[in-house]
Structure 1
């Protein structure tokens, strides 16, 4: 089967951007294996951000990994990358093969339950490759993911399944905001791996 056929992959945005939902790309055994390995090996820490001049420490935890120990700044906080683990390299290869893209870094988010989410934002940091793809791989709990157009406020919702891949491409960050809305219905953790291309 052609991975890039229109039957298996569709753009979920109606205009002003391309975001392809590839569906589930890992089987149940792979999901369980990588979820457990990442929980054991990744150096997750509470995220820090500067919002309206105040330092905010989030409940969700994050980890930053890459091909080398370069620095990355978002929300006015600079982080230095850990070196890719064996499992992250394996997942990167799977995501690259499925998406047809190449990545040199990964920002991981750990949401302990549905009560932890992320507000509307776009990934427009200067270090990110201009209009570069971001591959978002989900492990663990299913969560709703929302897009909102910056101008007309049209909203698109999608449920990200365990082992699924969402690839945000050209135009998405420029024209759309996205968020992970909190919910009390989900009580188990979710790991989100966002593979990115940093221009050094």
Structure 2
């Protein structure tokens, strides 16, 4: 497997303050990224996501999947998921991300966006199950999409384009002080798969 070398400064914090976000650019060659994209599309147990909003169950067009070291539960948007056992490809990608970042992860929440009409509203990943101030490693495959941050108090925004086969890491107090989102766009017609490696507290 060829790791893709680039000149992006992964040590640079793209946030001005109150958190740390590092963008590593493309970790994989286009060939490897394409192979992983095809494999993830076909081997992951994708399900439409559910959220409870104002007491009503909302079914999203976006699909999700939840994998981990054990069949522990993860609750967000007032719904609970039970982790499936790792696939071969997910373990390979987890190892790559851990080696690159020096972080350890025990789970992965995957998102499948079929086209640019599907996105994610402003939110922060601060559920009680997550390790406090722990790192979240976000791998992107498929369509390149804009990803944005907004400070919870100052409303300052920062955005970047997430490339095919690239890694973004959020850590420190990012989730406490910043929202993030994947804005919808009519310009994108192809799918994107996003893997968010996390550490869930199991005790």
TM over 0.5: yes
| Shift of residue 8, structure 1, vs aligned partner | 4.1
Correspondence for 1:77: 79
Gapped runs of 5+ residues in structure 2?
A: none
Q: Find the partner of 1:20 among 22, 35, 48.
A: 22
TM-score under structure 1 length normalisation: 0.96
Question: Counterpart in 1 of 2:195?
Answer: 193
TM-score if structure 2 supplies the norm length?
0.95
Deviations 1:103-140 (A, max 9, x none): 00000000000010000000010000010000000000
- Select the residue among 140, 143, 159 that pairs with 1:141: 143
| Structure 1 unaligned spans of 5+ | none
Quote the Cα distance in structure 1 between the aligned partners of 2:154 and 2:54. Answer: 25
More displaced 10-residue stretch of structure 1: 46-55 or 189-198: 46-55
Alignment CA distance shift 1:145-1:79 (3 Å) = same
C-alpha distance in 2 between matches for 1:51 and 1:170:
29
C-alpha deviations, 1:48-81, integer Å up to 9, x for none? 0011211111010000000111111110101111
Instruction: State the alpha-carbon separation in 1 of the partners of residues 44 and 11 from structure 2.
Output: 30
Give the match's secondary structure for 1:11.
Answer: coil
Deviation (angstroms), 1:9: 3.2
CA distance in 1: counterparts of 2:190 and 2:71, whole angstroms = 31
- Partner-residue secondary structure (3-state), 1:62: strand
**Partners in 1 of 2:95 and 2:150 — Cα distance?**
30
Number of matched residues? Answer: 197
For the Cα contact (< 8 Å) 2:12–2:22, is it kept in 1?
yes
Residue 128 of structure 1 is aligned with which of 127, 130, 145?
130
Q: Give the direction of change, closer, same or farther, for the CA distance of 1:127–1:157 in structure 2 (3 Å limit).
A: same
- CA distance, structure 2, for counterparts of residue 164 and residue 171 of structure 1: 22
Partner of 1:92: 94
CA contact (8 A) 1:137 1:164 kept: yes
Distance 2:100 2:186 in 1: 32
CA 1:197/1:32 → structure 2, altered by over 3 Å: closer, same or farther?
Answer: same
Does residue 51 of structure 2 align to residue 49 of structure 1? yes
2:37 aligned with 1:35: yes
State whether residues 137 and 194 of structure 1, in contact with CA within 8 Å, keep that contact through their aligned partners in structure 2: yes
> In structure 2, which of residues 150, 164, 167 is the aligned counterpart of residue 165 of structure 1?
167
Aligned-residue CA RMSD in angstroms? Answer: 1.4
